[in-house]
Amino acid sequence: MITTDTFSRFARRMSATQGCPYVVIAETPNPIRQLDEAAIRTRAEAMIATVIAGLTQAPAEIEAQLKDIAREQIHPRGVVRSAVPV
């Protein structure tokens, strides 16, 4: 998944609701709207290693790497959520 840093936690939570809590997320700093083509290319090149890793690593290896990160992003300590959808 590719996203800006502003939306990474939201993306992780949404992917977890679809059964993919350990999705690899390549992120770039927000905002990107005003960037020119050269700046976008630089950002894309900076993320390419993460994209390739997400497409080529074994699922068990990805899960091992992201287990703690996913737990903290999906269920942050100290945040209580309703068990009933609002």
- Over residues 50-72, the pLDDT tens digits come to 999 999 999 999 999 999 999 88
Domain range for 45: 2-74
In a domain, 62, yes or no: yes
Domain presence at residue 49: yes
Lowest mean pLDDT among 5-9, 39-43, 49-53, 69-73: 69-73
The count of domains in the chain is: 1
| Within a domain: 85 | no
In a domain, 84, yes or no: no
pLDDT of 1 over the 80 cut: yes
Is the residue at 79 inside a domain? no
Is residue 82 domain-resident? Answer: no
φ, ψ (nearest 5 deg) of residue 27: -120, 155
Determine the Cα–Cα distance for residues 14 and 21; give it in Å rounded to an integer. 8
For residue 76, cis peptide bond before it (omega within 30 degrees of 0): no
Judge whether 13 lies within some domain. Answer: yes
Of 75, 52, 48, residue with least CA distance to 62: 52
Q: Which ranges constitute the DSSP H helices of the chain? A: 8-17, 37-56, 59-74
* Residue type at 81 in one-letter notation: R
